[in-house]
Amino acid sequence: MSFPSTGQGLSKLKKKHFRVKHQKVKLFRANEPFLSVLMWGINHTINELMHVTIPVMLLPDDFRAYSKIKIDNHLFNKENMPSHFKVKEYCPMVFRNIRERFGIDDLDYKESLTRSQPLPDESSGKSGAKFYHTSDKLFIIKTLTSEEVERMHSFLKQYHPYIVERHGKTLLPQYLGMYRLTVDNAEHYIVVTRNVFSNHLHTHRKFDLKGSTVDREASEKEKEKELPTYKDNDFVNEQMKVYIGEEAKSKLMETLTADVEFLTKLHLMDYSLLLGIHEVERGEMEMARERELEAENPCGDSDESECGSGFDQRIFGMTTPPDSPNAIAQFVREHSLQYEGGIIPELDIYAIPSCDSAPVKEIYFVAIIDVLTHYGVRKQAAKAAKTVKYGSNVDGISTCDPEQYAKRFIDFMNKAIE
């Protein structure tokens, strides 16, 4: 082995003490083993993708492809992670392309999902799915059934071309990655989506709207939650409206109509419009109160590593260096104070401010959710049962064929938005 000429003898080099700087290794600490495995898995799969050439175009095989890794007798970080686990990522090239279409950098995606453990979200549907949000609240993690994974595979083949055609301009869920995690011989299927709500503006009210009236009100149990999910009858009874003005309404309805037509063609129904409302005046008061508390107790009960962190680190959970290529982290670092108390367009992509003539100043977050229900035999049977119970008025029952569902959905939203 030859040494570079340094003008010093080899003996001098030997005498010099070199301290090796080891890169800090992520520990993936989480309360649940499957969350530790999820963090490890996303870190691994994104790192692997960095070495794969981006294809000019996706091929049919990419929609059937997967990457898989099995870990046995894993000794490192054993107090946080199980010794045996498996991670499978579905359609990695497709989801990488989708993330790119939605302007999400893979390093940002990895950082959000692995920097700290995802936190449980109290949202839950009839399906019994579990929800988590990343520590920076940019992404939502939802558990799926194996049947839903099959539906997602089928849906992806139509969804990806639609996203390309619309140049990412859609209110459909932004599906960003799908995985199977095998931990303690139990399989967990999960999908990652972008969070509809803001990660720095509080959501004060939340509605799940389908355009139907039968059994469409929040239960007493739901109303006890810190942020209940209200439904169509609650919205109508409170004489609620979304005040965004004619121009914004026209753009919103165009996107909403295109998305609903796409879902109808695929015979999908039972989707909802998720509406979050941020009350600006209340939000400003809350922010002022938070500043007061921080001034009184700057480090409070926070973790030592977060003590003294700026707005971008405290709210967004990102500590990337100034030369980081991570677009979201860099944008937040440069512009967070400029937009404090208001919309950050690059992050709050679903946000629409209320118009000047609105009774109160609000910011609305609007998106379509739960789009994978196919109008098959089961739904047709449910429609027949509800028709017997409630009569043939399809305006009331939530279970009807996709065309009727779509028309009623759009009509309701058209009336709800001003």
Catalytic residues: 142, 270
Alpha-carbon gap, residue 289 to 318, rounded angstroms: 23
351-to-132, 164, 329, 342, 367 alpha-carbon distances in Å: 21, 22, 19, 10, 9
Alpha-carbon gap, residue 331 to 346, rounded angstroms: 8
Helices (H), ranges, 224-339: 232-237, 246-265, 280-296, 311-316, 327-335
**Residue 384 tokens, joined:** 């027949």
Alpha-carbon gap, residue 6 to 173, rounded angstroms: 59
Alpha-carbon gap, residue 256 to 262, rounded angstroms: 10
Check if the beta carbon of residue 25 is closer than 8 Å to that of residue 43: no
Check if the beta carbon of residue 88 is closer than 8 Å to that of residue 187: no
Alpha-carbon gap, residue 103 to 114, rounded angstroms: 19
Alpha-carbon gap, residue 276 to 208, rounded angstroms: 9
Check if the beta carbon of residue 406 is closer than 8 Å to that of residue 261: yes
